Copies of this chain bind each other. A is one copy, B any other.
């Protein structure tokens, strides 16, 4: 089963990478760009009996390793 995980900084947490991108886009002449935030995107294959089990294990993976839940949110999408 294919899974897609998005890890993003929580609202209110400073995002220097996003800020740097925004500044660079401005310097290149791209106007009207705002609220740039950069996150991580992880794709993986997981062997599981059904979507519920897969989602449970992926949640554990995010909590234990993939995301820093103090400052990051994560979302899990599954493709059959």
Task: Give chain A's interface residues, CB within 8 Å of chain B.
Answer: 6-8, 18, 21-22, 24-25, 28, 30-48, 57, 60-61, 64-66
How many copies of this chain sit in the oligomeric assembly?
2
Tell me, in angstroms, the Cα distance from A45 to B24 when the chains sit together: 15
Tell me, in angstroms, the Cα distance from A6 to B37 when the chains sit together: 12
Contact A21 B57 (CB under 8 A): no
> Which single member of B28, B31, B45, B60 contacts A65 (CB below 8 Å)?
B28
Task: Please name 5 pairs of A and B residues whose Cβ atoms are closer than 8 Å in the assembled complex, sorted by A.
Answer: A30-B57, A30-B61, A36-B43, A38-B41, A39-B40
Contact A39 B43 (CB under 8 A): yes
Known: A34-B44, A46-B32. A65 touches B21 (CB 8 A): yes
Contacting residues, chain B, for A30 (C-beta < 8 A): 57, 60-61
